[in-house]
Amino acid sequence: MRWQDIGQSSNVEDRRGLGGRGIALGGGSLGMVLLAAVIWMCSGGDLRSFLENLQTGETGTEVQQPGPSASNSTAPGADQNRQFASAIMKSTEDVWGQVLPQQARIRYRAPKLVLYTDQTQSACGYSSSAVGPFYCPGDEKLYLDFGFFRELEREFKAKGDFAQAYVIAHEVGHHVQNLLGTMDKVQGAGDNNRVSVALELQADCYAGVWGYYAQKQGLLEPGDAEEALTAASAVGDDMIQKRTQGYVVPESFTHGSAQQRMQYFARGMQSGDMRQCQTIR
């Protein structure tokens, strides 16, 4: 992906190295909580103690920070990870700043991206890197520990910068849902798993809508779309369950199957049309 051609967003808040305590569940995080719970129990812990420690961020399953390429330095040119994330945020701002008024007739209000190390606090509570990237509607911020990108490549076998861009664009998709009132609409709708899957698949589709316009702007390179599809497939509930527990329980899905996640990302990527992203009736 030609992300160096995009420019930098001003909506990036760098908290790396500040620490914190606790954990919060937000959009895009439940699959990683499942993985953390399985790792905890396989290490000899019981589920009750995991849930207790979940409140204090002491499960011992936090993702480790990358090496020198993910330096905490904020000096110009010294932190490529930050520059990359800031560029992707700028691209989403440019795209949704045009698409949302055109297709939904509402003004786009850009969220902030919070970069943190290990743990931080949001309006949704305390958050640990064990939950993965997430969006908090209470403060309209995305939260990202760069360690997840290494985890995405090493554990999920999803490589490439566009796979990482998909992760950020998916969380921005949750922000779009928030602006549209979709989250308020489904709150208290019952059947929480079904609603959660619908929200996640729609966020995947919105990420695809962003990808459609990024492609039109000439930012994508050969193989980029495949990188995003691989990432979407790798974090499907069925793939995570197969890897962590050896079997699949569809009734417990919270994000959708690998096939569904690829399907909805591709739907947005091929059309650029928000109307193709209807998952909630």
pLDDT band of residue 69 (cuts 50, 70, 90) is very low
The model's pLDDT over 124-134, given as tens digits with 9 standing for 90+, comes to 998 888 888 99
Q: Which long-range contacts (C-beta less than 8 Å, at least 24 apart) are formed by 213-222?
A: 213/95, 213/98, 213/99, 213/272, 214/1, 214/91, 214/95, 214/165, 215/269, 216/272, 217/91, 218/2, 219/1, 219/2, 219/3, 219/5, 219/6, 219/91, 220/1, 220/2, 220/162, 221/1, 221/2
Largest CA distance in the chain: 53
In b/e form, how buried is each residue of 236-261, taking b as 16+ CB within 10 angstroms? bbbbbbeebeeebeeeebbbbbbebb
Pick from 158, 160, 145, 5: nearest CA to 72 = 145
pLDDT tens for residues 216-256?
999 999 999 999 999 998 888 888 888 788 888 888 888 98
Q: Is the pLDDT of residue 28 over 80?
A: no
Q: How far apart are CA 138 and CA 275, in angstroms?
A: 26
Domain ranges of the chain: 3-277
Whether residue 95 has pLDDT greater than 60: yes
Q: Which two tokens stand for residue 50?
A: 């995991």
Q: Is the pTM of this model over 0.85?
A: no
